[in-house]
Structure 1
């Protein structure tokens, strides 16, 4: 029974979530070198281009030149200015940032050791700085995948009212037919070509969103997560957490700023498993609208929606 559950839960995800920090770490999970964005409409010109900083100062599993290179390509196709964030979060380092993206940050001690204990990727001073920055008008896209990534961002997520499981969640397809994809200006779109009717996640984690947040990707009733002590170490005693009605994607307005939180990272990029050539992410079946969904999220964060 456990073997069958494990196969259902982790098939197609396990090989894409190995220990490492960058695309040059020698792992078979790499950014898709052939990826080309589908987007052909450029929203921003050089004069009005929002500055997006992708955090790389916290031992991130996903980086601009690594596994999130396709993410960067999608945003550049729409006219965003992308920069690599290589400094701790301070009022000075954030002053010219329109949207900050944090994808699968880790504490130094957990960058190549996922056996635990797990530590916060950020100092309390950084958490306080980010919270104030958002309230004053900043925009944050916070992404944390399966265990151990949620523990690394736990103090920051909790500062905004989000509670992660820190486990493994099954792949889910959210659409208007199953009513798991919720109506919001992000999903409704200003024109038909930007309206979202389906989004696919590829495993990851789940969270409870605060009351003031809007859940975009709501897990179905009866859904559950496996919560092992170590990533992918599943046995008869592994804890199961009921997560029906929880979320894998939600947005929150706070003060003058905005926050978007997602519990799955691969849905916003394209990766290839080198031994087989299998590709996964925005190019996966049923994920055909994930790229436009990402752009809609970014438009909302940058205040263009």
Structure 2
């Protein structure tokens, strides 16, 4: 199948190579070829997945579903019943739709411009209302599951109230380690994660169940994300010791907030009767190639050098209690 070439505005390219312009028009292409082969649970799987497109997630974009093509195909192929919703995520709608898992994919703040006539003031506000945060938390506590994808600054800022509700500490910048520089030496690291280098926790329940034995990832590519931490045992993809959190400032300079031995790029944990996974690389399972400075960078599920698809399948099965 022929790949489709598109041109989109990707603000986050600035963070792949610190010091370039903050906004750049970058060519990208959708991967339409890769099909992950696995033993499907379609005959026995009756789980329902609800995907949010009412807020400013990737699915609110015209091309969002195309970039997540393989993710959606894997879920369908494994027997999941997928539904997209444009409704608020309150207790009424969650009870009516009754999903086994809720996916929120990307959650930047809403930008609000106040124009008094004399000057303009820009405010940022989470797209999630206070009642939605409370109701999503209750939904998980009572047995539902949440798969939340964030990104480096500014692509995860809008999820902060929800993260705090689950006692997750979020560093709204980008994670950097000198042994894992970003594109062209940028300060948003490209991590190559393996069990051997300690950045894939094979003992986490997501990767240690009976259904995971033939799906254990040997290499995960995590291309530029933010840092989170909760409890040490929650880390699925822990960052190396002495990982630095960089936070951009309004004047374009950089600020080192802290260095930590406890940061992770992906965590998973039980919460009441439910389960939560949070990943801070928004593109870790997307079918998109970025074309930067003449170089093609797979983002990343179809990258032949990685096993991101194995991690994705294990994650959705664990969240929906199939394993």
1:215 and 2:246 correspond: no
Higher percent of residues as strand: 2
Q: 3-state SS of the aligned residue for 1:273?
A: strand
Shift in Å at residue 238 of structure 1? 3.1
Paired residues in the alignment total 281
1:44 and 2:50 correspond: no
Shift in Å at residue 218 of structure 1? 0.9
- Which residues in structure 2 correspond to 1:235-246 (within 5 Å)? 235=253, 237-246=254-263
1:106 and 2:103 correspond: no
What does residue 307 of structure 2 align with?
Answer: 289
What does residue 319 of structure 2 align with?
Answer: 301
Change (3 A) 1:192 1:259: closer
What does residue 194 of structure 2 align with?
Answer: 175
What does residue 3 of structure 1 align with?
Answer: none
Shift in Å at residue 79 of structure 1? 1.7
Shift in Å at residue 253 of structure 1? 0.6
Partner Cα separation in structure 2 for residue 199 and residue 86 of structure 1: 32
Partner Cα separation in structure 2 for residue 119 and residue 91 of structure 1: 22
Structure 2 regions of 5+ residues with no counterpart?
1-12, 114-120, 176-188
Q: 3-state SS of the aligned residue for 1:59?
A: coil
Partner Cα separation in structure 1 for residue 90 and residue 319 of structure 2: 20
Partner Cα separation in structure 1 for residue 105 and residue 215 of structure 2: 24
- Which residues in structure 2 correspond to 1:66-77 (within 5 Å)? 66-77=66-77
Q: What whole-Å deviation, never above 9, does each CA across 1:144-163 have from its counterpart, x for those lacking one?
A: 10112332000000100111
Structure 1 regions of 5+ residues with no counterpart?
1-6, 20-25
What does residue 299 of structure 2 align with?
Answer: 280
The answer to whether the Cα contact below 8 Å between 2:49 and 2:103 also exists between their aligned partners in 1 is: yes
Partner Cα separation in structure 1 for residue 106 and residue 84 of structure 2: 15
What does residue 86 of structure 1 align with?
Answer: 86
Partner Cα separation in structure 2 for residue 27 and residue 66 of structure 1: 17
What does residue 184 of structure 1 align with?
Answer: 204
Partner Cα separation in structure 1 for residue 59 and residue 283 of structure 2: 9
Of 45, 51, 64, 1:54 maps to 51
Bigger drift between 81-90 and 68-77 goes to: 68-77
The answer to whether the Cα contact below 8 Å between 2:108 and 2:156 also exists between their aligned partners in 1 is: no
Partner Cα separation in structure 2 for residue 110 and residue 290 of structure 1: 36
1:199 and 2:216 correspond: no
Shift in Å at residue 283 of structure 1? 2.5
The answer to whether the Cα contact below 8 Å between 2:228 and 2:263 also exists between their aligned partners in 1 is: yes
Q: TM-score, normalised by structure 1?
A: 0.81
Partner Cα separation in structure 1 for residue 289 and residue 219 of structure 2: 23
* Cα RMSD for the two superposed structures: 3.1
1:123 and 2:129 correspond: yes
Q: What whole-Å deviation, never above 9, does each CA across 1:129-176 have from its counterpart, x for those lacking one?
A: 011111110100011101123320000001001111111221112211
What does residue 268 of structure 2 align with?
Answer: 251
Q: TM-score, normalised by structure 2?
A: 0.77
Partner Cα separation in structure 2 for residue 243 and residue 35 of structure 1: 39
Which has the larger Rg?
A: 2
Q: What whole-Å deviation, never above 9, does each CA across 1:201-239 have from its counterpart, x for those lacking one?
A: 11111112146x611111111211220135xx743x533
Partner Cα separation in structure 2 for residue 217 and residue 300 of structure 1: 15
